[in-house]
Amino acid sequence: MWKNLGKLVDPSKNQQAVALIDCSGGEAREFSHGDLDRLSDACARGLVHKGLKRGDSVAIMSVNRAEFIIAYFAIMRAGMIAVPVNHKLSADGVAFILSDCSAKLAFVDGDRASLVPGGLPTVRLDGPEWDAFLDPGPFDTFEPPHGTCAMILYTSGSTGRPKGVQLSHDGQIWALTIRVAARASFEDERLIVAAPLFHMNALGSCKFAICAHASVVLMPQFEAKSFIDAIGRFGVTWITSVPTMMAMLTRETSALAGIDTSRVRYVRMGSAPATQQLYDAVHRTFPNAGVAGGYGTTEAGPIVFGPTQNRTLPGGDGLGWPLKDVEVRIVDVDGHDAAEGELWMRTPANMLGYLNMPEKTAEALTPDGWYKSGDAFRTDAEGCYYFVGRVDDMFNCGGENIYPGEVEKVIEQVPGVMQACVVPVPDELKGQKPVAFVVPRKDADLSEKAIKDYVLAHAPAYQHPRRVFFLDELPLAATNKVDRRQLCERAARSI
């Protein structure tokens, strides 16, 4: 049905139905599907009127708000390339991205405007400048040829300079089509999104809601009590999140007691693995909801596995089986297929390559189109896939390789543990040794010794954490994933 990622409209559906509830200001603003379509056309006309051309890169840097979504769609409708920018980066980091993608214009909100280097034109999203930029009227949406770049999403840059992931219209539309085809209608669903829109998780959820003719409550950022209030106030049926967000939410028992949690039918936790204890806590909090994890990457698509061929997920951290049109391999260090190793993927949503980085592209994409994910996976006897950890996170302790995720899973089996994060610290004898940060449940009585003893009894001795620190919550990076770098620095100072 769709050809341009910026025009996810089904004209056969009710265009007056609510599409978006924007909670970025003091009062929530509602936009219908027809409103979003008309405003996206008006913004696309504004871009052309300003002299921008097809193929130009246009940046968007703002907290989550309706105008972000409208500008994002408009850029692609006009045949330009949308570049959502992580507004939590330093000014130098922002300047690098804007230079790397050769941005011709940046849409910004007031608090982010000062991050834009001088000389680059900007349009404020949160004031009269936005209204003046819009040029109301119909717009002839660009129909992109196969393989045309629609957007560039930049990686976090945790292991070096950020990499610009070039993604095509047709690849991302395939990913949406797979999700929408899962059932006949989603029109009675209302999603909530609080993860930042510069990240695949949130951006994909918003596009899914709009093309499925559902509706989405868009929060400017995640704050547990505001998130809970919005779930109750707007009748949310579908929660999109990452595990750390749900761990923080389930601890807010007083706020949860003030809303009707029975209306929530789905909780999806993507971008990182979740513990069985967290699954149990979410089930208790939302008793009528189906709770599931998910796996995807920016480079190969936001959705890879699921309960295919009428098979049900095994529970816990089992992700399921490859979806239609998805090919996967697990490859060991020698390049052979194996039951555990690095996950390689070949999907219609595979990236076109990293912008201006041919060497990195060649490292990540094989000549025959496989994307090397850098994620360690395993399969069970039924062929179900399980995430083990990041290959980059692996460290060596006295000659033994340790995947933090494997140790975290053991710690998270301890009664009373909600979440755990294991990081390495330098050690003169072993090279590196594991240290654990643990978030207990509110009513838990845990000790450092109890955690150590449990791991020693249930895992190889070299995996046991040499120190255990207890936290009320794990720190979050810009994408709402656990900030491992911050914990590594904290552990090094504490040892």
CATH superfamily of 305-390: Luciferase; Domain 3 (2.30.38.10)
The count of other CB atoms within 10 Å of the CB of residue 396 is: 13
Residue type, 333: V
Q: What is the pLDDT of residue 64?
A: 96
Distance CA 173, CA 144 (A): 12
Distance CA 458, CA 409 (A): 11
User: Which two three-digit tokens encode residue 90?
Assistant: 């330093």
**CATH of region 397-494:** 3.30.300.30
Confirm if 420 and 272 have CB atoms less than 8 A apart.
Answer: no
Q: What is the pLDDT of residue 271?
A: 67
Which run of H or E residues covers position 43? helix 33-49
User: Consecutive 10-residue runs of the chain (495 residues): their mean pLDDT?
Assistant: 94 96 92 98 98 98 97 98 92 93 97 92 96 97 97 75 94 93 90 92 94 96 95 96 87 94 91 76 93 87 83 77 93 88 95 96 95 91 86 82 86 90 86 92 88 91 92 80 86 84
No. of helices (H) and no. of strands (E), the chain: 14, 25
Bridge pairing between strands 395-397 and 81-84: unpaired
Distance CA 341, CA 335 (A): 9
Q: Is 165 exposed, middle or buried (0-12, 13-18, 19+ CB in 10 A)?
A: buried
Q: What is the pLDDT of residue 358?
A: 96
Q: What is the pLDDT of residue 315?
A: 67
Sign for the CA dihedral angle at 132, 101, 481, 331 comes to positive
Q: What is the pLDDT of residue 205?
A: 93
Q: What is the pLDDT of residue 150?
A: 98
What is the 8-class DSSP label of residue 347? -
Phi first, then psi, for residue 478 (nearest 5°) are: -60, -30
Q: In what order do the strands lie in the sheet with 417-427?
A: 417-427, 431-440, 467-470
Domain ranges of the chain: 305-390, 397-494
Of 122, 126, 174, the closest CA to residue 1 belongs to 174
* DSSP secondary structure string for all residues of 285-298: HSTT-EEEE---BT
Distance CA 395, CA 143 (A): 47
Q: What is the pLDDT of residue 193?
A: 96
pTM comes to 0.86
Distance CA 398, CA 468 (A): 20
Return the beta strands (E) in 173-317 as ranges.
190-193, 215-218, 238-241, 266-269, 290-293, 305-306
Confirm if 54 and 19 have CB atoms less than 8 A apart.
Answer: no
Distance CA 215, CA 187 (A): 8
Distance CA 138, CA 46 (A): 12
User: Which two three-digit tokens encode residue 242?
Assistant: 């990452």
Q: What is the pLDDT of residue 347?
A: 95
Q: What is the pLDDT of residue 321?
A: 92
Distance CA 74, CA 37 (A): 9
